[in-house]
Amino acid sequence: MQKKSFFILLFSICAVFAYSQTTVSLDQAVENGARYLNSRFSKGTRAALIALRSENPDLGEFVLRKISGVMVNNGWFTMVERNQSTLDALSREMDYQMSGYVSEETELSIGKQLGVEVIISGAFTRSGQNWRLELQALRVESAQIGGQWSGENIRPDPAWVSLVSSQSATVYFAGDEVSARDRQTITDGLRNAMQTWKTALELDLQSAIQTGNNFTITIHQNKLPTGLIQAEVTIAFLRNGRVILNSAPYHITEMNDTQLSRRIAEHIRGDQAFFTKVNEALR
């Protein structure tokens, strides 16, 4: 018994160590990104941090201030503060509730107003259970990208996680009726797909109202003379009741309902193209 407990303890320690090796803090990610940008430009280059896209303005500004603090303190760039006119220009263009996107034309225009050589922007977005930081440096005079950097596996931290908006999605079934057991099999396939393709949503199976983010799985079945079941299946992603995108139809033929539900789950888990588009819509 003592030997067994020892191996369990050893496994737990190794698991924690492996996790700590594969994730980084936001502070470390910012330091890494700043070092990369330093390597791309000569010392003293005049630069300005324009905007950082994230789930909401509070989180975006928090990360932006952290990046600014690191870049000011390391003294490589000559950092220029955003003024009120540039902030007004940003607020006119950015829709934080949708994407927080700022066009390249606006970035260049602001860079010229500030008299800088380089403008830096980026994004801080969910990546599975962790986060991803992206930075881009654009040369104002030539409009060429001077550097792009991304840092993966940034672990959530109480210092900023309270600023994060919780995102969830509900799954609904349409078309021909399927049993509760088969619905569960298909839902498990959907959950696994979201984990595999790093879709930053949690499935909420309690809600009975289509609000927020929703997946609707439509199944149309036809029993063949041979006894086999033929089905056409599509999955749709909706936001506030409006269809954002649909998957290509899955055409499946199986021997019984149980095998059919398993195959549907497999098709959903393998549909990288669909979840790539979902991830783009969430950003």
Per residue in 157-172, pLDDT (tens digit) is 988 887 776 677 889 9
- C-alpha separations of 194 from 53, 55, 163, 267 in Å: 22, 18, 23, 13
Total number of residues shown for the chain: 283
User: Measuring CA to CA, how many Å separate 77 from each of 68, 69, 120?
Assistant: 10, 12, 11
Q: What is the DSSP string of 184-231?
A: HHHHHHHHHHHHHTT---EE--S--S--SEEEEEEEEEEE-TTS-EEE
* pLDDT, tens digit (0-9, with 9 covering 90-100), for 149-202: 999 999 989 888 877 766 778 899 999 999 999 999 999 899 889 888 988 887
What is the predicted pLDDT for the residue at 46? Answer: 95
In sign, the C-alpha dihedral spanning 234, 239, 241, 244 is negative
What are the extents of the domains in the chain?
22-161, 168-282
Position 222 scores a pLDDT of: 96
The residues of the chain scoring below 50 in pLDDT are 1-2, 4-20, 95-99, 206-211
Q: 3-state SS of 256-281?
A: CHHHHHHHHHHHHHCCHHHHHHHHHH
CATH 1.10.20 fits domain 168-282: no
Q: Quote the pLDDT of residue 16.
A: 42
Sheet with 78-79: list strands edge to edge.
Answer: 78-79, 46-53, 118-127, 130-139, 145-154
CATH of domain 22-161: 3.40.50.10610
Between CA 270 and CA 211 the distance in angstroms is 26
Residue 212 pLDDT: 72
User: What's the whole-model pTM score?
Assistant: 0.54
Q: Given this model, what pLDDT does residue 72 score? A: 94
pLDDT of residue 59: 86
- At 24 the pLDDT is 95
> pLDDT value at position 92?
59
Give the H/E segment covering residue 130.
strand 130-139
